[in-house]
Homo-oligomer: A and B are copies of this chain.
Amino acid sequence: MERTLGEIECSFTQQLHQWTEQFRPYSAQGKCAAYIPALAEANPEHLGVCIAHPNGQVMKAGEWDIPFTMQSISKVIGFMAACSVCGMEEVLNRVDVEPTGDAFNSIIRLEAHKPGKPFNPMINAGAITVSSLLPGKEPADKLEPILSLLEKILGKRPLVNENVFKSEWETAYLNRSLAYYLKQNGFLAAGVEEALEVYSRQCSIQVTAEDLAKISLVIADDGFDPFQGKQMIPRRITKVTKALMLTCGMYNASGKLAAFVGVPAKSGVSGGIMAAIPPRGRRGAPFQEGGGIGIYGPAIDQVGNSVSGLMVLKDMAEHWDLNIF
């Protein structure tokens, strides 16, 4: 006898609950990011997990409704927004799609590899370049396509946490260094201050784990939003985006996520993880038609990834056979 949709959903939610309880204690192995006060004040024991199913259900557990800033996860949105409004070729003229193995804030490669084109949009140098490309002169204009894209998907305009933005802005010495280097080499398409303001603001956009699940469901489903029945992002852009998430999404542990989890995912130092399950499951698998995962666990490891969040994602991929390989 087949189970009803409600029963299935219920069993998924129970599973999520179990994971949050099981992995929450491991947060103690990590620490909240401390380079700006707002991040340091997060509750390290929080762990929220959401999964959005293409049938319209969003299963939730733990602190799924705690708002936090996107940080590096915004690089995914920035890339998709820039490709959508400027054309992907224009974006790829200024940023490559190769993983590096370097730290997210490394500058060495910009000097060592002529002509200094940033290697991919998931490291800071690449993301700042992408921000510089967005149309408009004022930072607010440039930010608009990012906020619009999120608004279209989430049905509400996300907030920029001004407090976090201000802190980021004032301490962004390394990003300024990267931006001036890019400017020198001709890769920045705007003034350094404008590009950095856009980048710092996009990092400060506030979301919840639920929001991430909804966004990643759209990415997973090749840009189609099953809730609203609309194509939100061109299919081709989301394919490249998922590849970038898999190859470069988890800082210096990207390769390990690809090898041992096998789900395209992007993390941020605020403790968020956004993972997209392509609609290519094996016959009979629960998320055969794809899905979106949003996780929030602010205690991060040395590489910058949520400790408990990564554990949930790994178990989830095994339990539901989500590994794309």
Contacts and interface: CB of A to CB of B under 8 A. Distances in A.
A99 B239 contact: no
A323 B183 CA distance: 35
A90 interface: no
A97 B180 contact: no
Number of copies: 4
A96 B255 contact: yes
A165 to B, nearest CB: 18
B256 A98 contact: yes
A38 interface: no
Nearest to A172: B180
A242 B325 contact: yes
Looking at chain A's contact residues, the main secondary structure is helix
A325 B255 CA distance: 16
Contacts of A13: none
Interface stretch (A26-34, A127-135, A276-284, A293-301): A276-284
Contacts of A180: 173-174, 176-177, 180
A246 B325 CA distance: 9
Interface string A231-266: 000000011101110111000111110111010100
Contacts of A324: 278, 280, 324-325
Interface size class of A (residues with CB under 8 A): 35 or more
Contacts of A279: 282
Nearest to A323: B239
Given A177-B180, A239-B323, A259-B240, A108 B97 contact: no
A125 to B, nearest CB: 11
B282 A259 contact: no
Contact of A107 (B107, B119, B264): B107
Contact of A260 (B107, B240, B254, B255): B240
A244 B258 CA distance: 8
A24 to B, nearest CB: 27
A111 interface: yes
A145 to B, nearest CB: 21
A98 B252 contact: yes
A108 to B, nearest CB: 5
Interface string A93-106: 00011111110001
21 contacts: A96-B255, A96-B256, A97-B256, A98-B255, A98-B256, A101-B109, A106-B111, A107-B181, A108-B108, A108-B111, A174-B180, A176-B177, A176-B192, A177-B177, A243-B258, A247-B258, A247-B259, A264-B325, A278-B280, A278-B324, A280-B281
User: Which 4 A-B residue pairs are closest in the complex by CB-CB distance?
Assistant: A98-B255, A177-B180, A242-B325, A173-B184
Interface of A: 96-102, 106-112, 119-120, 173-174, 176-181, 183-184, 192, 238-240, 242-244, 246-248, 252-256, 258-260, 262, 264, 278-282, 323-325
Given A97-B255, A247-B258, 13 more contacts: A97-B258, A97-B259, A98-B99, A98-B101, A101-B119, A107-B111, A107-B181, A176-B180, A177-B179, A180-B180, A243-B255, A246-B258, A280-B280
